[in-house]
Amino acid sequence: MIQDTALAALFQQEDIVKKYKRTFADLLLEYLAQIEVEYVFGVPGGAIEPLFNALARFELQDRNPKLVVARHESGAAFMADGYSRETSRLGVCCATTGPGATNLITGVASAYEDQTPMLVITAQTALNNFAKGSIQDSSSDGIHIMGMFDNCTRYNSLVSHPDQLERKLVKALVSAFHHPRGPVHLSIPLDIFSQELTFTAKTNFNIYEMLLEPKIFDAKAIDKLLKQIMAAKNIVLYLDKGAAPAIDQIMEFAELTNTPIVTPTGGKSLVSSYHPLYYGVFGFAGHSSAHQLLGNDEVDMVIAVGSDFSEFSSGCWDKSLMTSKLVHIDSCTGNFSFSPMAKQHLSGHLATIFSELVNRIFSMTQDGEKLPNNTIVIPELENNYYNLDYLYLPKNITMEDNQPYLVDSNSSFIKPKWFFCEIARFFPDNTRFVADTGNAWAWMTHYLHLKEKNNFRIGIGFAAMAWGIGAAVGTAFGNQASPVVCVTGDGSFLMSGQELTVAVANRLNLIVVVLNDSALGMVKHGQRIGGGEPIGFELPTIDFAKMATAMGANAHVLKTPQDFYNLDIEEICKRKGPTLLDVHIDPEETPPIKSRLQALNRPVIVEK
């Protein structure tokens, strides 16, 4: 009887679908379904309605992609970014014409800087209304949306005829996944999107095969590199975010050759903080262990993988990294223009390159060849305070405060450095941590030590405030089996905290940590350290726990270490719905941001 009922329901759904015409919006969704996109993040509006109608038809058939309604279009773009990073699938966001499209731009620019594959769909008014002064006209005769997206997308095109849609969509998707990766944009007029298909809504291209990265490499270049590796005395691996697709093969190489590893902030997630070869973060909010390793005169080769050598990716273009010792390996040849001093540039499919290196080195060692020494000793690590196992701190990484656990249990504030050491210890190992722009960057980069790789997310390329909130929601959609912890500042939460209601509506296991110090913290401490005038950083006193409760979330106020220990972390991580932790941090504790001020050519005032 149950089967008969289910079958009847299926036939009813098909009858409902047949009542509606299929449009070019359905064709677009068929392509997204082909590459296993699960969600489209967006905000509805008149001109984008055909796409929402098509999503409704897919919903009736219980097919993906499904719609997630954000509260603001920038939040939708951040969600698509977070979803793509978590799943390695395409992130998709959409908005209506006019202000809907312009609201997306910050999120799209952020994905562009961090090379996150994303399809951005915006609407246009009907073609026959172009240049007539119609409401929200976004054509070249109105608010020129195409021009705005041109410099923050890998492909940007207006679909001006129905016959263009399929081919332009395919070109866009290929552009999103080929190097350099990033967001692509299609702007589609209302009348084209809503035009009825005269053929079955099935795809004419096998787009999945087109998105696969060719496994090419330069055999002669690998021969050259291999000779340098075998002749080197001490090598260091420098792994940036672009190394992510090949991290397993790179780690096999590192372990075979006993090569120590450092990363910039963007590469922090690639390696467990507790891996015996990892010496921490170099550059912004970094560790002295990483700086000492790269600056050691005994190092005669630095192999940098997947780096664009931007300010954050190079420690503000630090001379100990940007030297002739450098070998730059990348899948994006455009990044080579930023490392002209390197003694070798090697491009190709990263996983294949390192697999080839491992195979050749293993064969050579079997024949009696000796590997590089890689026996560098960093003096301050010989008697490292962290060797006390009960501290749960990595033995290879040195921090500004070598005793972050020593806090006053009766303090009326939470010490951030203590908090981030503890939160990593008490949350499950599979927890995803998302750092929002601001002091959360610095505290988490320096003091958050995770046992598992690929559990740290940071939008450091464009540095958009409130990125973390939307990205954490997208991460939670992409992985509903792991808790997601977003750490944001009170300033960022006041910008986009309403996206918490998306997690409420969809019962996502999201934990939002608000660092509450009634200030734009990075601005405040930056002014103090750099000698700027104290202005513009103050925020009113806000009860964020009450805000979260009003939105339907669970909430706790933390003012002392004991408040944190009183939390039932296990219950919070099992909860079907979000939890907000209103963490009152010590407003006077200085974050490790001095390197950022040096990049701004501002003096650093040493506090007495």
Q: Is 423 exposed, middle or buried (0-12, 13-18, 19+ CB in 10 A)?
A: buried
pLDDT reading at 37 higher than 70: yes
Higher pLDDT, 210 or 112: 112
- Find the helix packing angle between 219-231 and 350-366, rounded to 10°: 50
Look up residue 424 and give its amino acid.
Answer: A
CB 516 within 8 A of CB 542: yes
Q: H helices within 246-394, ranges in order?
A: 247-257, 288-294, 350-366, 379-382
pLDDT reading at 522 higher than 90: no
pLDDT reading at 207 higher than 90: no
CB 478 within 8 A of CB 87: yes
pLDDT on residue 370: 72
| Residue range 130-147, pLDDT digits in tens | 766 666 677 677 788 999
pLDDT bin (cut points 50, 70, 90) of residue 390 is very low
353 contacts: CB under 8 Å, gap ≥ 6? 217, 222, 246, 329, 346
Q: What is the phi/psi pair of residue 170, to 5°?
A: -60, -45
Closest CA to 516 of 475, 570, 555: 555
pLDDT on residue 544: 96
Q: Which residues pair with 582 in a beta bridge?
A: 514, 557
Higher pLDDT, 447 or 530: 447
In angstroms, the Cα distances linking 119 to 28, 34, 294, 559 are: 11, 14, 38, 42
Give the side-chain half-sphere CA count within 13 A for 142: 20
Mean pLDDT of 79-98: 97
Distance CA 313, CA 282 (A): 9
Higher pLDDT, 531 or 408: 531
Closest CA to 27 of 145, 196, 184, 144: 196
Closest CA to 25 of 158, 191, 242: 191
Closest CA to 259 of 285, 297, 230, 222: 230
Q: Where are the beta strands (DSSP E) in 492-531?
A: 510-516
pLDDT bin (cut points 50, 70, 90) of residue 409 is low
pLDDT reading at 150 higher than 90: yes
Please give the CATH superfamily to which domain 22-210 belongs: Thiamin diphosphate (ThDP)-binding fold, Pyr/PP domains (3.40.50.970)
Distance CA 242, CA 387 (A): 32
CB atoms within 10 A of CB 368: 6
- Please, what is the average pLDDT of the chain? 88
* Ordered strands of the 235-239 beta sheet: 278-281, 261-263, 235-239, 301-305, 326-330, 344-347
Name the DSSP letter for residue 184.
E
Distance CA 452, CA 238 (A): 19
pLDDT reading at 99 higher than 70: yes
Higher pLDDT, 461 or 567: 567
In angstroms, the Cα distances linking 550 to 90, 487, 546, 583 are: 33, 20, 6, 18
In angstroms, the Cα distances linking 104 to 5, 108, 209 are: 43, 6, 29
pLDDT on residue 202: 66
Name the DSSP letter for residue 430.
T
Closest CA to 41 of 5, 86, 10, 72: 72
Least confident range of 81-85, 121-125, 482-486: 121-125
- CATH 3.40.50.1220 corresponds to the domain 219-379: yes
Mean pLDDT of 35-43: 97
Q: Which residues pair with 94 in a beta bridge?
A: 42, 121
Q: Where are the beta strands (DSSP E) in 130-287?
A: 155-158, 183-189, 235-239, 261-263, 278-281
- CATH 3.40.50.970 corresponds to the domain 399-599: yes
Report the DSSP pairing between strands 183-189 and 155-158: parallel
Distance CA 231, CA 596 (A): 36
pLDDT bin (cut points 50, 70, 90) of residue 198 is confident
pLDDT bin (cut points 50, 70, 90) of residue 354 is very high
Torsion angle of C-alpha atoms 402, 406, 412, 416, degrees rounded to 10: 30
What whole-number percentage of the chain has pLDDT above 90? 70
pLDDT on residue 5: 44
Q: What is the phi/psi pair of residue 596, to 5°?
A: -65, -40
Q: What is the phi/psi pair of residue 516, to 5°?
A: -100, 105
| Residue range 113-128, pLDDT digits in tens | 999 999 999 998 887 7
pLDDT on residue 10: 41
pLDDT on residue 434: 98
> Which segments of the chain belong to CATH 3.40.50.1220?
219-379
pLDDT reading at 391 higher than 70: no
pLDDT reading at 191 higher than 70: yes
CB 421 within 8 A of CB 402: no
> Which segments of the chain belong to CATH 3.40.50.970?
22-210, 399-599
Q: How far is CA 265 from the centre of its chain?
A: 12
What length is written for the chain? 608
Mean pLDDT of 24-36: 95
pLDDT reading at 459 higher than 60: yes
- Find the helix packing angle between 99-113 and 467-478, rounded to 10°: 80
Q: Give me 82's structure tokens.
A: 């977070």
Q: Give me 464's structure tokens.
A: 């958009």
CB atoms within 10 A of CB 583: 24
Q: Give me 435's structure tokens.
A: 């750092």
